[in-house]
Structures are given as C-alpha cells and as structure tokens.
C-alpha cells in the first residue's frame, strides 16, 4: 500500500486528516527529510506559500522533494501548495518549479474577498461541487504538457502534469472526499 504524506510544516494540513481517517488510508505528517523518505504521495496544503517555502528551505527539503518526484513520488498542491510547486510566481522563478504553470498570488482578492462557488467537475463526474477560494492564486499560464482538468470563468483551477496535481481552491473544506480519492486512488 502506498504511503501518503501530508506536509505539516505550516498551513491547513489538519483539515485533510478527516479524509484519511474516513477512508482508512494511512497518512504520515511530514516535517523533515527523514519523514519524507517514506512517502509515495505528498499533499502540500493551503496556508501561506512564502512561509511554507521558507520552511522547506530551512529544513533543506527543496532538493529532497525534487529527488523524490524524480523517483516517482506524486504531489498534490492545494491553493498555497499550488503556488509552492509552480514554475513562475508573480513573474519570478520559484524554488521548487515542479509544474510548468505561472500563477498570480491572491488573484481573486484579499481574505475578505474569499468566496464559495459551485462548479461542475467533469473529470470526476461531479455536479455543483463547492469550490472554496480563499485568497486563491490564479493560474495565468500553463505549459504545453500541463492538462487542464477544470476551469472557473475561463481560468484553470485544477491541472495536472506527470506527477503533479494542482487545485487552486480548497476541496478539503467540503464534506466530500472526491478530490482526495482521486489523488489517492487514481492519480
């Protein structure tokens, strides 16, 4: 059975634990390279992307994550996690640069502008799935090998490429486990 890791150095990682408990998946909290060694899939949750990146540097995890991906580890970046793994952020090259997308931070506005919208998710056969956009990034450019899985008002909000899966919204804030199941069982 694959070992799932949840990056737990900053951010909303606790919101994901309920899905692992419900589905009886074994999930490890990852805070350093020795814990990272044992995971096959890694979720980088929402939070503060600059703080997450700062801690990844501080704990020397940037190269370790890249090496694990080269060895086949899959990563799901959610909101701030999608910023952390993007190639370009606000016009500047990013540390991890795991997926060929360019994002703009807080593109839909500040905290007070956060919103929920129901969107269909065709690749998961979902109708009116609640999408929580909390200071969400906007994907403004995708590379040729990036597959756009879902859009909101013409903007990609869910994409994948090789071992990287991205959602710019927070599916963990719903009571539904569809996105977690996709990442854990089908991605």
**In whole angstroms, what is the distance from residue 10 CA to residue 51 CA?**
7
Annotated catalytic residue, options 16, 131, 170, 180: 170
Q: What is the DSSP letter of 109?
A: -
Token pair for residue 26? 């074994």
Annotated catalytic residue, options 16, 102, 172, 180: 172
Annotated catalytic residue, options 79, 131, 158, 180: 79
Verify whether residue 48 is a known catalytic residue: no
Verify whether residue 151 is a known catalytic residue: no
Burial of 136 (0-12, 13-18, 19+ CB in 10 A): buried
Q: Half-sphere exposure of residue 141, counting CA atoms within 13 Å on the CB side?
A: 8
Verify whether residue 170 is a known catalytic residue: yes
Q: Which residues are catalytic?
A: 79, 170, 172
């Amino acid at each position: 059975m694959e070992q799932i890791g949840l990056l737990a150095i900053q951010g909303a990682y606790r919101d994901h634990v309920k899905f692992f408990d419900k589905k009886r998946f074994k999930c490890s909290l990852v805070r350093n390279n020795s814990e990272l060694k044992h995971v096959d899939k890694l979720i980088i949750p929402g939070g503060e992307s600059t703080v997450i990146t700062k801690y990844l540097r501080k704990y020397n995890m940037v190269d370790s994550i890249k090496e694990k991906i080269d060895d086949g580890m899959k990563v799901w970046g959610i909101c701030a996690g999608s910023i952390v793994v993007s190639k370009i952020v606000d016009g500047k090259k990013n540390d991890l640069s795991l997926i060929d997308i360019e994002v703009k931070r807080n593109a839909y506005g500040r905290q007070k502008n956060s919103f929920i919208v129901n969107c269909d998710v065709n690749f998961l056969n979902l109708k009116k799935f609640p999408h929580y956009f909390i200071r969400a990034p906007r994907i403004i450019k995708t590379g040729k090998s990036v597959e756009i899985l879902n859009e909101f008002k013409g903007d990609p909000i869910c994409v994948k490429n090789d071992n990287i899966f991205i959602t710019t919204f927070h599916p963990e804030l719903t009571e539904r486990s569809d996105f977690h199941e996709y990442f854990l069982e089908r991605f």
